[in-house]
A and B are shown apart, each in its own frame.
Chain A
């Protein structure tokens, strides 16, 4: 039997507070957290999830690229400056990348887009770029197979992009 007790003052736990693992319902709350972690890991095709440093490094790399390439002619061949829209979209992309894969090299393109490059050795490369226009342009070399295309992007990474990344890391 359970009784509802009114919460008075500031002692109430936040909805965002993680279960303490103590209390009358210890077993089920631990299991829920464990299940959620397993489902998320499965979604990205890996049982291990790492947060923190790789993401921070990628964001720091993006800032470096933006600092260097947000002026025109940054490549000495008349390149277009990387726009703040492209920078913001690239930041959003980094935060959406599956944490189970290696973080990409971040580059600027002469058209002002920001590119992401994954290279697993000779002949195993996948790249895509964004320019702040909700469009991802991608290309990949997977041994003898070559692909390229374009996908609309809003709030989530298109499945085609995730599938190509999986292919590179399979």
Chain B
């Protein structure tokens, strides 16, 4: 597991319109709910130009990227979660260390969404 600097900014790309709130420009907790394997995929974007960040997100999936939720690595650590960088694809990091209880996972996702900054494409 590679280390991620606490000052790093991480982007969670959003492909579903029901994961953000255009009315007040905030991220819904569901954007940070991990999949069944409990590895939430994010990307390190520190030092990249805005255009490069969107190009990276756009190349990930067949679906169009709609936006992204940016969060500082130290906020993830403050929520008692861990960062596992695998650089596959480049700059890729998984947020891991999620609790077992479904309701506790929800609370962590809410905490991350509260700290995240929404950017729409």
Q: Which A residues have a C-beta under 8 Å from some C-beta of B?
A: 64-65, 68-69, 74-80, 105-111, 115, 117, 119, 122-123, 125, 127, 129, 137-141, 146-150
Q: Which residues of A contact B60 (CB under 8 A)?
A: 76
Q: Which residues of A contact B16 (CB under 8 A)?
A: 68-69, 74-76, 108
The smallest C-beta distance from B79 to any residue of chain A, in angstroms, reads 11
Q: 25 A-B residue contacts at CB 8 Å?
A: A64-B18, A69-B16, A74-B16, A77-B41, A80-B36, A105-B28, A107-B18, A108-B18, A108-B30, A110-B30, A111-B35, A115-B29, A125-B110, A137-B103, A137-B106, A138-B106, A139-B103, A139-B104, A141-B107, A141-B114, A146-B107, A147-B107, A148-B103, A150-B102, A150-B103
Q: Known interface pairs A69-B16, A76-B15, A150-B102. Does A110 touch B63 (Cβ–Cβ under 8 Å)? A: no
B14: nearest chain-A partner, CB-CB? A75
Q: Which B residues have a C-beta under 8 Å from some C-beta of A?
A: 13, 15-19, 21, 26, 28-30, 33-36, 41, 60-63, 101-104, 106-107, 110-111, 114
**Residue pair B107, A119 in contact (C-beta under 8 Å):** no
Q: Which residues of B contact A75 (CB under 8 A)?
A: 15-16, 19
A79: nearest chain-B partner, CB-CB? B35
**Residue pair A65, B18 in contact (C-beta under 8 Å):** yes
Q: A76-B15, A122-B114 are in contact. List 5 more A-B contacts (CB 8 A).
A: A68-B17, A107-B30, A110-B34, A127-B110, A138-B106
**Residue pair B36, A109 in contact (C-beta under 8 Å):** no
The smallest C-beta distance from A129 to any residue of chain B, in angstroms, reads 7
Q: Known interface pairs A68-B16, A108-B18, A115-B30. Does A76 touch B63 (Cβ–Cβ under 8 Å)? A: yes
A134→B38 CA distance, assembly (Å): 23
